[in-house]
Amino acid sequence: MAARLDLLQVAGARILVVEDESAIAGDTERSLKALGYRVSGRAGTGAGAIDQAVATSPDAVLIDLRLPGPLDGLGAAKEIQQRLRIPVVFLTASADEPTLRQVELPSPFGYVVKPFDDRDLQVALVIALCRHRAQVEIERQVKERTREVAAAEERSRQAAARADRLRAQMAAVFEAMSEGVFVFDLQGNAVLVNEAHVRLAGFSSAAEMMKGSLASYAELYELTTLDGTPVSVEQWPAARVLRGETLSGLELVGRRKDSDQRWVFAFSGSPVPDDDGQPALAVVITRDVSHAKRGEARLLESERRFRFLADHLPQIVWTANPDGYLDYYNERWYEFTGLPRGERCDGNWKPILHPEDQERCDAAWYHSVATAEPYQIEYRFNDRKAGSYRWFLGRALPLRDEAGRVVKWFGSCTDIHDQKETEEKLAAALHIREDFVAIAAHELKTPLSALLMHVQSLQRARRAAAVPVNLDERLDKAARAGRRLDKLLAQMLDVSRITSGRLRLELEPLELRGLVEEVTRHFAEQVQRVGSSLHVTARTRAFGLWDRLRMEQAFTNLLANAVKYGEGKPIDVELREEEGHAVVLVTDRGIGIDPSQQKVIFERFERAVGTREFGGFGLGLWITRQLAEASGGRIEVESTLGQGSTFTLRLPIQPTEEPPAHP
Amino acid sequence: MLVVDDDPDIREALRDTLEQEGYCVAEATDGSAALSYLRSSPPPPLILLDWNMAPMNAAAFMEEFSREPAYAQIPVVLLTADVKADERAKAIRCAGYLTKPVTLDALFETVARYCR
């Protein structure tokens, strides 16, 4: 095609004219120009032809066969053709035609027999130019094709080498994988298996394993689910993948029937499509997770044991993460709190904890979490069944890994309420006893002081050989101080007896009226001394079974108080009988008792007017209350501050047939 | 001298003992009784003051007492069974103290120091 187009392009071609006869050369040039060619140069010898050809690079050389000089036209043409690959057309005499036919030239050539006309010249030139161009084109194309073939060969060689390399790498990867890789074709025949799979499945070599197919493996192995359900060969991972499924991490138990070896396998796999996108191969990757499964099972077992133990402990047990998040409570906690099981643990203890303990608890816990120091605290939890708070001892220790990092906190809450209450009672009892001893020592010192002063003073008088004028009176006073000491000691013993539950009433039939009157008489002197007066109204005899000494003691206490706090004003004592009870009322018109104090005055060591201001242990009313209660009765007070008090003693009358002893 | 104590037995014992030695003794049953005595009588050369009294105790009495410049020259000796008698006496600005039970030697020595 290209050559044909070139035919039209011979016009304007540049021609070298080589002719030793200048007339012919001139004619030829004129003919060439007339035909539309250009003349690139002219030469008259063979050597000149070569020089001109080199210098002007003509499209063709028109050369006379016979030239003068050592190199004739034929030699020059040969040289030009070989060196410059320029087509040559000979100008020749007809006699030389046979010679020309025998000439062997490397490229096709043409010739024109002299004399020639324009047409002859044109034909010869067109043929030569076109043949030359065609030849050049063919040579170019051959070269190009040769190059292309060589490049294609190189590319294919490189691709083959790459493929080989990739195949080798893939094989290495397959063999290096710890997972077993098994490739099946659509018929279930083994196509590829790696070393790991050979080992995994208990074969001796890949070659041995490759002999098998899915069907033959089904004879050798059985697969079950983790809970033991058999898996048919149609449901084996390879079969499912061959049907186009993609699997990931499917855990199954495998057993080799001949050796009874067992594994837990995790299967993954996917189909490999052919060029049409249809499944062609099944790749199944198998991982042996037996060890991990055993570890998991051991962990579960260990956890199950911990929970069993924790749930059966009498204490509340809990665990927390290293960051302090509570993640577990034992059964005891849910029993105690009534909180629903399975709800998030962290923070659900807040409403159970006593509001006053929350800040302290938070501070202690977060300190421990931050420092990994053991946690210990005493706090109160609401006991929903009792509707009150109970004291607990909360403790926790961190569990650390080999690197010393905290991995878990294990905590417990132990009910220490009863223990704490006992401790508190004991502490209170000890405190009371210390108080009592202090008060007793102090109070005993007052009459002792008086007694000692009287005695020492009399001793001093005697040493001075002087007899005091009022010796008898002084001795009486000393004796009275001694009796007061004795009374205080008796009171102390009473307290001891009452608190230890050793108070026994010795009942005898007698009239309470006589007893009241007798005690009142004992106070006559004292009443007179403070400028008071005492009036007794007995409306009943109140005959029954009474403990004489204890009743006397009770009335004495009430009267002593009336005198002590009566501010010297008249005191009334009344005895009456109401609903089977003897009622004794002692009324003074003294300082009275503040309403807030009226209850506590019957407690041990309580006195409305402040500690020890009025002397005595402050035990009188407490002892009186204990005596009244021991007799099945009670004591009450009515009082107005600044106006006086009325103490009412109500004692059940125990009737008796016996005649009353004289009081 | 003036004996201030709410316990009649103690007042009596002190009066008898001191009178036997020739002292003249006035009695008051508590702080307020002592103050009214002081307001109506010539100042005594010495006051023996019990610590624990009611209604007006020693501390309350000393507060009132110290406010009156006329009483500045009257020494007050505290009578107490307390082991910290020394501190107590200092705290309420008493001139001295006697611990219960009072021994006669200590009593006479103290009294003699203030009543010549």
* Segment A127-140, tens digit of pLDDT: 888 888 888 888 89
* Element holding A637 (H helix, E strand): strand A634-640
Judging contacts by C-beta atoms under 8 Å, the chain A residues touching residue B14 are: 453
The beta-strand segments (E) located in A289-367 are 316-320, 326-329
State the Cα–Cα distance between residues A601 and A42, nearest whole angstrom.
160
Placement of tokens 């499944």 in the chain: A279
Indicate the range of A326-340, A371-385, A391-405 predicted with least confidence: A326-340
State the Cα–Cα distance between residues A65 and B27, nearest whole angstrom.
183
Which of the residue ranges A2-16, A327-341, A388-402, A467-481 has the most confident prediction, judged by mean pLDDT?
A388-402
Contact B101 A610 (CB under 8 A): no
Judging contacts by C-beta atoms under 8 Å, the chain A residues touching residue B104 are: 453, 456-457, 460
The three-class DSSP label of residue A558 is helix
Instruction: State how far residue A486 is from chain B, nearest Cα, in angstroms.
Output: 15
The interface predicted TM-score of the complex, written ipTM, equals: 0.89
pLDDT value at residue A301? 86
What is the DSSP-derived secondary structure letter of residue B42? Answer: P
Q: Looking at the predicted structure, is the pLDDT value of residue A173 above 90?
A: no
Cite the residue boundaries of each domain of chain A with CATH code 1.10.287: 421-494
Neighbouring residues of A228: CB distance < 8 A, sequence distance ≥ 6? A253
List the single residue in A with minimal CA-CA distance to B12: A450
A445 contacts chain B (CB < 8 A): yes
Contact A477 B107 (CB under 8 A): no
- Which overall architecture, per CATH, does domain A295-415 show? 2-Layer Sandwich (3.30)
Q: DSSP secondary structure string, A242-288?
A: HTT--EEEEEEEEEETTT--EEEEEEEEEEEE-TTS-EEEEEEEEEE
Long-range contacts formed by A213-216: CB under 8 A, 24+ apart:
A213/A184, A213/A187, A213/A188, A213/A189, A214/A184, A214/A188, A214/A189, A214/A238, A214/A239, A215/A188
Contact A613 B6 (CB under 8 A): yes
pLDDT value at residue A662? 55
Q: Could you give the angle at which helices B8-20 and A471-499 cross, rounded to 10 degrees?
A: 150
CA angle B32, B34, B38 (to 5 degrees): 115
φ/ψ bin of A196: left (φ > 0), alpha (ψ from -120 to 50), beta (otherwise):
alpha
- Smallest CA-to-CA distance from A655 within A554, A510, A503 is with A510
Instruction: State how far residue A327 is from chain B, nearest Cα, in angstroms.
Output: 59
State the Cα–Cα distance between residues A185 and A281, nearest whole angstrom.
5
Contact B52 A613 (CB under 8 A): yes
Among B10, B20, B81, select the one facing A450 at the smallest CB separation: B10
Instruction: State how far residue B71 is from chain A, nearest Cα, in angstroms.
Output: 25
Among B6, B17, B53, select the one facing A453 at the smallest CB separation: B17
Placement of tokens 């103690």 in the chain: B10
For chain A, what is the largest distance between any 2 Cα atoms, rounded to a whole number of angstroms? 209
State the Cα–Cα distance between residues A235 and A254, nearest whole angstrom.
13
Number of domains comprising chain B = 1
- Smallest CA-to-CA distance from A661 within A507, A496, A456, A474 is with A507
Q: Could you give the angle at which helices A417-463 and A471-499 cross, rounded to 10 degrees?
A: 170
State the Cα–Cα distance between residues A192 and A184, nearest whole angstrom.
7
Q: DSSP secondary structure string, A403-424?
A: TS-EEEEEEEEEE-HHHHHHHH
Q: Looking at the predicted structure, is the pLDDT value of residue A155 above 50?
A: yes
Contact B101 A481 (CB under 8 A): no
pLDDT value at residue A602? 80
Among A457, A529, A610, select the one facing B17 at the smallest CB separation: A457
A440 contacts chain B (CB < 8 A): no
Q: How far apart are the first and last CA of chain A?
A: 167
List the single residue in B with minimal CA-CA distance to A466: B20
Indicate the range of A114-123, A492-501, B104-113 predicted with least confidence: A492-501
Among A441, A446, A614, select the one facing B54 at the smallest CB separation: A614
The three-class DSSP label of residue A386 is coil
State the Cα–Cα distance between residues B74 and B70, nearest whole angstrom.
9
CATH topology of domain A421-494: Helix Hairpins (1.10.287)
The amino acid that residue A236 corresponds to is W
Q: What CATH number is given to the structural domain containing B51?
A: 3.40.50.2300
Q: In what order do the strands lie in the sheet with B76-80?
A: B26-28, B2-4, B47-50, B76-80, B96-99
Placement of tokens 């102390």 in the chain: A492
Sign of CA dihedral A80, A83, A84, A85: positive
Instruction: State how far residue A595 is from chain B, nearest Cα, in angstroms.
Output: 18
State the Cα–Cα distance between residues B3 and A109, nearest whole angstrom.
172
Q: If you average pLDDT over residues A379-388, what whole number do you get? A: 90
Contact A460 B104 (CB under 8 A): yes
A477 contacts chain B (CB < 8 A): yes
For chain B, what is the largest distance between any 2 Cα atoms, rounded to a whole number of angstroms? 34
Find out whether A24 and A38 touch, Cβ atoms under 8 Å: no
* Segment A80-111, tens digit of pLDDT: 888 888 888 888 877 777 777 777 766 667 88
Strand partners, A536: A573
Confidence of residue A661 (pLDDT cuts 50, 70, 90): low
- Which overall architecture, per CATH, does domain A177-288 show? 2-Layer Sandwich (3.30)
pLDDT value at residue A314? 87
Interface of B with A (CB under 8 A): 6-10, 12-14, 16-17, 20, 52-55, 57, 81-82, 100-104, 107
Percent of chain A with pLDDT over 90: 31
Q: How many residues does chain B have?
A: 116
Cite the residue boundaries of each domain of chain A with CATH code 3.30.450.20: 177-288, 295-415
Domain A2-141 has CATH 3.40.50.2300: yes
Domain that holds residue B86: 2-114
CATH topology of domain A506-652: Heat Shock Protein 90 (3.30.565)
Phi first, then psi, for residue A600 (nearest 5°) are -75, -15
The three-class DSSP label of residue A221 is strand
Judging contacts by C-beta atoms under 8 Å, the chain B residues touching residue A484 are: 9
Confidence of residue A616 (pLDDT cuts 50, 70, 90): low
A480 contacts chain B (CB < 8 A): yes
Output b/e per residue, A376-401; b: 16+ Cβ within 10 A: ebebbbbbeeeeebbbbbbebbbeee
The three-class DSSP label of residue A234 is helix
The three-class DSSP label of residue A509 is strand
The amino acid that residue A352 corresponds to is I
Judging contacts by C-beta atoms under 8 Å, the chain B residues touching residue A452 are: 101-103
* Segment A213-272, tens digit of pLDDT: 888 888 888 999 988 899 998 899 988 998 888 999 899 999 988 888 888 999 999 988
Say how many CA atoms lie within 13 Å of A504 toward its Cβ. 2
- Smallest CA-to-CA distance from A92 within A11, A28, A34 is with A28
- Smallest CA-to-CA distance from A524 within A538, A514, A535 is with A535
The three-class DSSP label of residue A429 is helix
Contact A450 B53 (CB under 8 A): no
List the single residue in A with minimal CA-CA distance to B103: A453
Find out whether A225 and A264 touch, Cβ atoms under 8 Å: no
Percent of chain B with pLDDT over 70: 99
Contact A452 B7 (CB under 8 A): no
* Segment A511-570, tens digit of pLDDT: 999 999 999 998 998 898 888 999 999 989 889 899 888 899 899 989 988 998 898 999
State the Cα–Cα distance between residues A183 and A212, nearest whole angstrom.
12
Judging contacts by C-beta atoms under 8 Å, the chain B residues touching residue A474 are: 16
Among A460, A474, A484, select the one facing B9 at the smallest CB separation: A484
Find out whether B2 and B39 touch, Cβ atoms under 8 Å: no
* Segment A401-413, tens digit of pLDDT: 888 899 999 999 9
State the Cα–Cα distance between residues A183 and A285, nearest whole angstrom.
9
pLDDT value at residue B27? 93
Instruction: State how far residue B43 is from chain A, nearest Cα, in angstroms.
Output: 26
Mutate to test the interface with A, among B7, B14, B16 (most CBs of A within 10 A): B16
pLDDT value at residue A572? 95
Find out whether A40 and A61 touch, Cβ atoms under 8 Å: no
Confidence of residue A358 (pLDDT cuts 50, 70, 90): very high
CA angle B96, B98, B101 (to 5 degrees): 175
What is the DSSP-derived secondary structure letter of residue A339? Answer: P
The three-class DSSP label of residue A203 is coil
